[in-house]
Structure 1
Amino acid sequence: MIDFQQGLIKLSPIAPDRVVPMVAPMLVNDEQIVAAFKTVRDSVVFTNKRIIAINVQGMTGKKTDYTSLPYSKVQAFSIETAGVFDRDCEIELYFSAIGQVKFEIRGSFDIVQFNRILSHYVL
């Protein structure tokens, strides 16, 4: 499992079709990918039902950990838009079982529109 208590997870937006081969076998009926992000090796996928954190492990990267974070366990969340000097935006989610999970998104990403999507699934 990704250590969410370690701090900020820094992500870059990617096209959702890039993660389909990794997560398609895990998706349930009517589950669709809403957004996808990548670190150097790991990925985070937001679907209409949950967040899937993909942690690639080991030297060869053949071992992979998939952590599902259902929206039903989110107690609160916040977003922080990018500024003039700080071009990154942030998403903070508070889960009943694991506490705070914080994602920093680098690059061009419409966090306000994503907040609307996230609100639809969490509220």
Structure 2
Amino acid sequence: MGLFDKLGGSLAQGVMGNMNEVSVDELTKDYGSYLMDGETIQLGFRLIRDVVLFTDKRIIDFDKQGATGQKMRVDSINLSSIIHVSAETSGFGMDDSEINLTYISSPYYRASGGVTVAEKTFEFPKKYNIQPLYKRLQEIAYENHENLNK
């Protein structure tokens, strides 16, 4: 059995730029110290060394850097800042699925001079059904949109 067989294809998926789901228990053990009090992991994915967590409060992106991966950048997107979600499902061949988020990156969501937005794209393996995650994120974006425009 070769290295590729032992990895179950996760290395190939990682090289192609998409993530594999990881158990909440494993993620909590490895990344629980980054959670806020009362925050819980709902879902998480690994891309070779990098990890993305979806919690009940935010999306946390762990970007391991350097040859050893000891240096790490941690970035968060508060769920309350998400204002638009789009998805692209996988097609034929090597296509993967994507979820694209637009979120308010400025500290004030109702700034009189306007707000700053940013975008983030998450790629998923062809076999992963993104529809439930897309639906939940879209529900969040809709609720945020309604609250901002009251």
For structure 1, which segment, 111-120 or 35-44, has the greater mean C-alpha deviation from structure 2 after superposition? 111-120
Greater Rg by CA? 2
Any unmatched runs of 5+ in structure 2? 1-16, 106-116, 144-150
- 8 A Cα contact 2:87 2:100, kept in partner: yes
Establish whether residue 106 from structure 1 lines up as the match of residue 128 from structure 2. no
Structure 1 CA distance, aligned partners of 2:63 and 2:84?
A: 24
Aligned length: 115
Identify the structure with bigger relative contact order (alpha carbons < 8 Å, sequence gap 6+).
1
**TM-score using structure 1 length:** 0.78
**If each structure's strand is expressed as a fraction of its own residues, which one has the higher value?**
1
Contact 1:13–1:106 (8 Å) recurs in 2: no
8 Å Cα contact 1:48-1:121 kept in structure 2: no
4+ runs of 1 displaced by more than 4 Å?
none
- Displacement of 1:120 in angstroms is 4.0
In the superposition, relative to structure 1, how do residues 55 and 69 fare at CA in structure 2: closer, same or farther (>3 Å)?
A: same
Q: Does 1:82 align with 2:82?
A: no
Matches within 5 A, 1:21-100: 21-97=29-105, 99-100=118-119
Unmatched runs of 5 consecutive residues or more in structure 1: 1-8
Q: Conserved in 2, the CA contact under 8 Å of 1:12 and 1:107?
A: no
AA aligned to 2:82 is V
CA distance in 2, matches of 1:33, 1:77: 20
- The alignment's C-alpha RMSD in Å is 2.1
TM-score for both structures, normalised by structure 2: 0.66
